[in-house]
Structure 1
Amino acid sequence: MKAIATLLLVLIGLVGFCLTQADEGPTVHLPGSQVLGILADGVDSFYGMPYAESPAGRNRLKRPVKRTKPLGDFDATTFAPACPQGHFGAIKFDEPWHKRTVNVFNVDSVDKADNFDSNLARWDAANPVQTSEDCLTITVQRPAGIKAGDNLPVLLMLAGYSFVMGTPYRYNVTSFIKFGADIEQPFVLVTVNYRTGPWGFLPGEQMLGSSNLGLRDQRMSMEWASDNIAAFGGDPDKIVLWGHASGGVSVFDHLVISGGNATYKDRKLFRGAIMSSGSLLPAEAMDSKKGNEIYSDVTGVLTPHFRPDLPHYKDSLQALREAPYSDFVQATNVFPGALSAEAMRLVYVPRPDDDLIRHSQEVLLKDNMFVPVPMIFGTQEDEGTIFAQKQTSVNNTRRLMKYLRGHYFHNISNSRMEDFLKNYHTKPLDGSPYGTGSEFESWVGRKRLSSVIGDVFFTIPQRIAMSLIASAQPELPIWGYQAAYDYRNNATSMLGTAHGSFEAMIFETDDYVSSYATKTTRRYLLNFLYDLNPNKRHLDLATWPKWTVEEPKLLKFNKSGLSTLLEVEGERGYTFMKKHLEMFRI
C-alpha cells in the first residue's frame, strides 16, 4: 500500500508539472497538423493524440474507425483522458463476498472514489487522471532535442492489468528515457490508450462482429505509429513491442493476429517483441458457452426485469450501446475484481473469434502462423502471490480443486485436476513466495495457491509458448528471464518478487531507484531494442543465453547479480498442462 500511495503522489505531481512548464514546448509537423508538446526534465512529451474516431455514444462496442482528418493546431501538453478502467481491487460491486471476508483492505476508499457521472468521465483511485469513453489516443515521448530524421528505435508499450485496466499513465517514464540517452542509446517511447474490460473484450455470440476491440484499437495505434513516428524522430522500421501483464498477452496476440500477418503498407508494424509477466493465455472462443454466459450476465442487469426504469430495446447489444454510462458500468461490474476474495476473474480477455484470432493461440503456434520476430519472454518468481491474499477458505486439495474448476477451468474434470495438483505439495516450504521456508503461510494453503496461480497463468504458459515457437522456428532467436530481485528470506515480504514488480523496476519506482536490477535490465532491453539481441552492446554484461528446446535456459535477475536457470522438463505442473492445454482455457 505504501508503494501505491507513493505512486499516486508521483503521478499527481507529474500532472501539475505538465500544467506549469517553463520551457518553450517542442513542435512536430504532421500532414495538415502542427502538434505542440511539452519539454520537462529533459524529455519531450506529446500527449493524447487521437489515432481513431471516438468510440463513445452509439459507437460503443463497435470496431475502431481510423481518424483521417488532420489534427490542425493540436495542444498535446497535458494528459488526455484514459479509457474507462474496470475495477482491479475489491469494491462494492463485488457483493456479496466482502460480507464474508474479514480485513479486506481498501474497500471503503475505492468505493468513495468510484463516483460515476453522466458526463462519461470519472476519477479512478488507482489512476489519478480523468477517464472517458472518448479515449483512443497515443502518446509519444523522446529525449529533448530529437527531431525528424534522427531515426531512433521505437519502444511501443502496451500497459495492462488483467484486461480491466490499461492506462499508460501509471509510471513516470522520464528516468527510463533519460537513462537511454545517458548510455548513448536514445529511443522514442510510444504508449497507447485502448479499450479494456467490457468496452474492449466483452465476449458472446452477439459480439462476433465487434470482437476483441481492445486488440483492434492497439493494432490501429501501431498503424498510426508506422505512418507518423518519423516526424517525432523515430524509425518506423525499428519498432519493438513491449507489454507487461495483460499488455504482454496483448503483444503475444499481435504475433498471431490474422494468422501471423503484421504487414501494413508493405511494412512490418514491428520487428521485435518483449513480453513481461504475460504471453500465452488459452481462452474459450467468443461464442463458447462461457462467453455467452458472461454476455448474458452482463446484459441481464439491463433488462426491464432488473431495471424497470430503463427503456425497452430491440436487442441486448443495442441496450449495451445505448445505456447510460453509469448503467453500463454497473452491468459490466457484475464480476469481482482481480484482487477480490472470489478469484482473479479473467472474463474480459482476448478470445478466438474466427476473424482476428482465427484459432486458439497454441494451435496457431503449432501451425507456424505467427510473426517470426526476435522475442524476449519473462516472468517474476512469485507471480501468483498478489492474487492469493484473501481466498482463506481454499485450504485443502478438495477446496482448491473446486476453486480452480469453478472460477477458471470448466473443461477439466475433478480427477484430472487432482492429477495436476499432485505436482504441488501442501507444505509451505515448497510454496510461493519461494525460498522463504515456512514463512508467510498466513492461512493454510496460501503458498500452495500462490504457486498454482503463478504457474497456470504465467510461468507454464510462457514455457509452452517458447517451446512451440522454438519448435516451429528453430533458428528464430528468443530469450527468457526470471526475476528474483525481491527475494527476502524470513524477512518482511509476503509477496516475494511479485507480479507487477518488473514494470515498477524498469520505471525505477520506490525501492528500485538506482538499483542494480534496474540498471542491468534496462541495458539488456535497450540492447534488444537497438539490435534485436540483448548481448550486442555493453559487453561487460553477462551473456544472456538463447532459449532453445534442447537448452531451455533463462537468465535470472537477482538483487545484486545474475545467474542462469535451466528449466527442467516436468517441473511442477508443466508437463501435465502442456499435454492437456485445452482443459486450461479460461
Structure 2
Amino acid sequence: MHSITSLILLAFALTLPAAALVTRQANASTITSVTYAHGTVLGLTLGLTETFKGIPFAEPPVGPLRLRPPVPISRNLGTFASDPSPRACPQFSSQVDTKSLPAEVASLYKSTPFGQVIANAGEDCLTLSIQRPAGTRSSAKLPVVFWLYGGAFATGSTNSYDATSLLTRAKALKQPVLFVAANYRLGGFGFLPGAAVSRAGASNLGLRDQRAALEWVQDNIASFGGDPDRVVIWGESAGALSVFDHTVINGGDHTRNGKALFRGAIMNSGAVAPTQNVSHPKPQAVYDSVLRAAGCAKAVDGLECLRGLSYGAFVNAVDSVPAVFSYRSVDLAYLPRPDPADGFYNVSPEVAIVEGRYARVPIIVGDQQDEGTLFTLTLSNVTTTSKLEAYLASMFWDATPAQIAALVKTYPRDPGAGSPYNTALTNEIYPGFKRVAAILGDLTFTLSRRVYLAAVANNIPAWSYLSTYLYGTAVLGTFHGSDILELFYGGIPWPLPAAAMETYYISFINHLDPNAIRDGLIDWPRYTPEGRKLMNFQQALSAVIKDDFREDSYRQLAQSPQSFRL
C-alpha cells in the first residue's frame, strides 16, 4: 500500500500547506502601476512577473446588494495599492476527519485546496487578480487566460493560485500570456436555490459574478497589455463546470456588444453536470432549510429577511446544509441550477448540448484517473449493493430503481476493478470503497465527459486527456485536484506532467491548438466520437490511449443522462 512513489509524495505534500497557497515572494520587489478606466492600480514586480491583486470588478455585494446580481464598477477608484492577500468570498467546505485516514492520505488531502483553511474571507470579495510578464506594455496585446478556481462551489479564492510557473514557461517558449483570476460568490451567497430566488431574478449569482468579471476583462484588459479578442477561459473542478456553463449561458451566445467574451475553453475535471431546476423540490428543500436556520421561515419576504441578517448569522444559516465532505458527497446543496424563468442559464447542461445551444469554440477537457476517491472517504457505511443503490437513489431523484441497478451492475464488486484503478486488492479502506469511488468519479467527471464529447466533438475542435501520473498513491491514486498541485503549487516531483500540460495549454491559449508549439512533445490528436483518442499524462512520458474504458457503464449513462440530475 505504501509505495516508494507514495512516500515521495508524502514528503512533498508535507511542505505544501505552509507555502503552496501563498503567492511566491521574492527578496526584492518594485512597484509598477497601470491606469485603466476606473483608476490606477499599483502592483508589484517580483522577478519576471508583475502582479496586481484585489482589483474590484463589481460593487461589494453587501447589505441591500446581498443575494442580488453583481453591480459592475462604474465609479472612479482613484489610485489604490494592489492587495497582497485579497479577501476571499465566504467559505463553506466541510473538512474530512483526517484522524481516521492513513497518515500519507491525510497529508495529501491537506495539500489540496479542499484541505486548506482560508481565514481572510468576507462578503466584500468581488475582485480579480492579474499576472503578466514583467515589462509588459499596454500595447502588447497578449493572449489572456481567465482562471476560475474549483472547490465544489463552496471554497476557493484567487489568492490560492500563482501563475508564475505558467508565465515563466510561456516566456521561455516565446509565447507570452496574461493571467486573470476572478473571485465569485460561493455556497448560499452565490448559489442559493428556490422558487423565491427565481422570482427575484437572483439565481446563479456566482455564475453572474464570473460573467461580470469576463465583461470587466473585455472592457479593461487592454490597459494591462492583454488582448480582449484573445481570451481563453480555464477552470478546474467547480471552475471547470463553470467554464462549461459559460459556453451554454444565454443559449450559447458568448458575445457582448457584438464581441466574443472568450474564444476557447479549458476544463480540468469537470464539464457537464446535469442538474435539477432551481425550483425543483430537491433544491427547494435547501432554501427552506436555510430559512429555518436563519429564523426567516415565517417572514413575508424570506429573501429580504436573509438580506437583513448579520454577516455571521447568514453564514451560519447557509452553512446549515450538508457540504461536499459530508455524507452527501458530490450531491451538492449549492451549485449552478437552470432557471427556466430566466434567459441567463435556463436549461440543464445535457439538454443544451443535445439541442446544440453552446458556443462553438475549441475546447480541452480531461480528467484525473481516480476522480472519485477523494469524495468517497466519508461514505464508509455504503458497503453493500443494496446500500449503494439506495444511496444513489437518494442522490438522483429522476433515476428509476431499474436504471440505478443497471448502472451499478456494470461496476464489479471486486476491489481489483475499482478506483484507485490498477491496484489489485489494495486500498479498499472499507468494504465497497473502490466500487463507490469508481461510480462517483464516472458519474460526476469521467464518463460524463465522454457523453459531452460524443455530442460536440464533431462540431468543434476538441482535445481530451486522462492523467495517471500519481498511480500507486495509497487510497487516492491520481486524485481529484492533483493537477492543481502540478500546475500551481510547485509541481509533484516528476517534471514531465507539469511541463507537458503547461506547454500544451500555452500553445492552446496562443493558437487554439495544443500542437502549434509542442517543444518536443508528442502530437495530441483531436478527439472525435469515432476515434476517441486521449492524451495520457504519465509520470515519465505522455502517450495516446483510447477512451473506451468502462464502456458498459458509459452506455448506461449515455442512454439517459437526464435521469442522473443532481
TM-score of the two chains, using structure 1 as the length reference: 0.89
Task: Give deviations 1:354-392, integer Å, cap 9, x for gaps.
Answer: 221121112111221111000001000000011111311
Moved over 4 A (4+): 1-5
Structure 1 partner of 2:218: 226
Stretch of structure 1 that moved more, 514-523 or 139-148: 514-523
Structure 1 unaligned segments of length 5 or more: list them.
92-100, 110-123, 306-311
Instruction: Give the total of aligned pairs.
Output: 544
Give me the whole-angstrom Cα distance separating, in 1, the residues matched to 2:552 and 2:122: 43
- Choose from 325, 332, 353 the match for 1:346: 332
What secondary structure is seen at the aligned counterpart in 2 of 1:36?
strand
Q: What does 1:64-213 correspond to in 2, within 5 Å?
A: 64-90=70-96, 103=100, 126-128=116-118, 130-208=120-198, 209-213=201-205
Give me the whole-angstrom Cα distance separating, in 2, the residues matched to 1:460 and 1:88: 26
Does residue 509 of structure 1 match 2:490? yes
Q: Could you tell me which amino acid in structure 1 is paired with residue 506 of structure 2?
A: L
Q: Residue 304 and residue 497 in structure 1: after superposition, are their counterparts in 2 closer, same or farther (change >3 A)?
A: closer
Structure 1 partner of 2:109: none
Structure 2 partner of 1:480: 464
Q: Could you tell me which amino acid in structure 2 is paired with residue 70 of structure 1?
A: N
Is the Cα–Cα contact under 8 Å of residues 86 and 159 in structure 2 kept in the other structure? no
Q: Residue 574 and residue 13 in structure 1: after superposition, are their counterparts in 2 closer, same or farther (change >3 A)?
A: closer
Give me the whole-angstrom Cα distance separating, in 2, the residues matched to 1:168 and 1:77: 12
| Shift in Å, 1:506 | 1.2
Task: Give deviations 1:214-253, integer Å, cap 9, x for gaps.
Answer: 0000000001001111111111111000010000000000
Q: Could you tell me which amino acid in structure 2 is paired with residue 177 of structure 1?
A: L
Does residue 553 of structure 1 match 2:533? yes
Q: What does 1:296-375 correspond to in 2, within 5 Å?
A: 296-303=288-295, 313-354=299-340, 355=342, 356-375=344-363
Does residue 442 of structure 1 match 2:429? yes
Q: What does 1:524-563 correspond to in 2, within 5 Å?
A: 524-538=504-518, 540-563=520-543
Task: Give deviations 1:27-79, integer Å, cap 9, x for gaps.
Answer: 11113522110111321001011111110122111111111112210111422
Q: Could you tell me which amino acid in structure 2 is paired with residue 103 of structure 1?
A: S
Task: Give deviations 1:381-429, integer Å, cap 9, x for gaps.
Answer: 00001111131111110000111122x2112222221111011000011
Give me the whole-angstrom Cα distance separating, in 1, the residues matched to 2:23 and 2:126: 21
TM-score of the two chains, using structure 2 as the length reference: 0.92
| Shift in Å, 1:486 | 0.7
Structure 2 unaligned segments of length 5 or more: list them.
1-9, 107-113
Is the Cα–Cα contact under 8 Å of residues 335 and 345 in structure 1 kept in the other structure? no
Is the Cα–Cα contact under 8 Å of residues 146 and 233 in structure 2 kept in the other structure? yes
- Choose from 396, 414, 418 the match for 1:427: 414
Q: Residue 376 and residue 12 in structure 1: after superposition, are their counterparts in 2 closer, same or farther (change >3 A)?
A: closer
Q: Residue 546 and residue 13 in structure 1: after superposition, are their counterparts in 2 closer, same or farther (change >3 A)?
A: closer
Is the Cα–Cα contact under 8 Å of residues 323 and 333 in structure 2 kept in the other structure? no
Is the Cα–Cα contact under 8 Å of residues 53 and 129 in structure 2 kept in the other structure? yes
What secondary structure is seen at the aligned counterpart in 1 of 2:551?
coil
Stretch of structure 1 that moved more, 31-40 or 444-453: 31-40
Stretch of structure 1 that moved more, 164-173 or 279-288: 164-173
What secondary structure is seen at the aligned counterpart in 1 of 2:380?
coil
State the identity as a percent.
35
Give me the whole-angstrom Cα distance separating, in 1, the residues matched to 2:14 and 2:220: 36
Structure 2 partner of 1:41: 47
Q: Could you tell me which amino acid in structure 2 is paired with residue 497 of structure 1?
A: T
Q: Residue 534 and residue 125 in structure 1: after superposition, are their counterparts in 2 closer, same or farther (change >3 A)?
A: closer
Give me the whole-angstrom Cα distance separating, in 2, the residues matched to 1:61 and 1:434: 43
Does residue 386 of structure 1 match 2:386? no
What secondary structure is seen at the aligned counterpart in 1 of 2:51?
strand
Q: What does 1:26-37 correspond to in 2, within 5 Å?
A: 26-31=32-37, 33-37=39-43
Is the Cα–Cα contact under 8 Å of residues 243 and 274 in structure 1 kept in the other structure? yes
Give me the whole-angstrom Cα distance separating, in 2, the residues matched to 1:519 and 1:212: 35
Higher RCO structure (Cα 8 Å, ≥6 apart): 2
Give me the whole-angstrom Cα distance separating, in 2, the residues matched to 1:478 and 1:552: 10
Structure 1 partner of 2:500: 520
Give me the whole-angstrom Cα distance separating, in 1, the residues matched to 2:21 and 2:375: 27
CA RMSD between the two structures: 2.3
Task: Give deviations 1:319-361, integer Å, cap 9, x for gaps.
Answer: 2111112221211122233123453341201111022112111
Q: Could you tell me which amino acid in structure 1 is paired with residue 170 of structure 2?
A: G
Structure 2 partner of 1:57: 63
Give me the whole-angstrom Cα distance separating, in 1, the residues matched to 2:457 and 2:145: 24
Structure 2 partner of 1:285: 277
Is the Cα–Cα contact under 8 Å of residues 27 and 36 in structure 1 kept in the other structure? yes
Structure 1 partner of 2:478: 497
Stretch of structure 1 that moved more, 58-67 or 358-367: 358-367
Give me the whole-angstrom Cα distance separating, in 2, the residues matched to 1:391 and 1:3: 27
- Choose from 6, 26, 45 the match for 2:15: 6
| Shift in Å, 1:5 | 5.4
